[in-house]
Amino acid sequence: MRKSTGYAAAVAAIAIGSALPFMVVAQTPPKPSVRLADVMSALQSRHSKLWTAAQQRNWELAAYELEQVKAGLADAIGLYNDIPVTNVTMIDGPLKSIDGAIAARSGPAFTKAFGELTAGCNACHQSVGRGFIVMTIPTMSPFGNQSFVPSVGQGKDISRR
């Protein structure tokens, strides 16, 4: 729906006039431009944030980041048709264990499950000829602009929903 509206608008813009030559660029309808490597880069951020949040025992943020990881994996699977099913199911178990660890607010259970998740990331990379992309347990957070410490009153907005 949106695409055709955009396209119609582009055509209309061209019809309005050659006086606006820069609009002609809009003649080609936009192509879907999500690249798997970009989805993976976002996934890398979430993998890191998930770890950092759990280290700070910010379980609410950890739960949120876990959802982002799941969504990123779902996007990746949608984009990449040749992914062996076993690689997807390998990730499933660790994701469920992380869910459980967050619900139980258990640091040790989280650490174990996160290690398994990371091994799952690497198993898929190896199986698709990307064994040179090696994920590790984060040693530090690159996100100096985000606090991972639980804050007072956190979660008020969410419980209102």
**Where do contacts with ligand HEC occur on this chain (CB under 6 A)?**
36-37, 40-41, 43-44, 47, 69, 76, 80, 83, 87-88, 91, 117, 120-121, 124-125, 128, 130, 133, 135
Shortest CB 95 distance to ligand HEC, Å? 9
Choice between 87 and 106, CB closer to ligand HEC? 87
Shortest CB 155 distance to ligand HEC, Å? 25
Main-chain dihedrals φ then ψ at residue 159, nearest 5 degrees = -70, -20
Shortest CB 72 distance to ligand HEC, Å? 7
Choice between 6 and 78, CB closer to ligand HEC? 78
Main-chain dihedrals φ then ψ at residue 2, nearest 5 degrees = -60, -40
CB contact set of 23 (below 8 Å; sequence gap of 6+): 10, 13, 14, 16
Cα 20 to Cα 68: distance, rounded to the nearest angstrom: 42
The candidate with the shortest Cα–Cα distance to 148, out of 82, 47, 49, 68, is: 49
Shortest CB 29 distance to ligand HEC, Å? 24
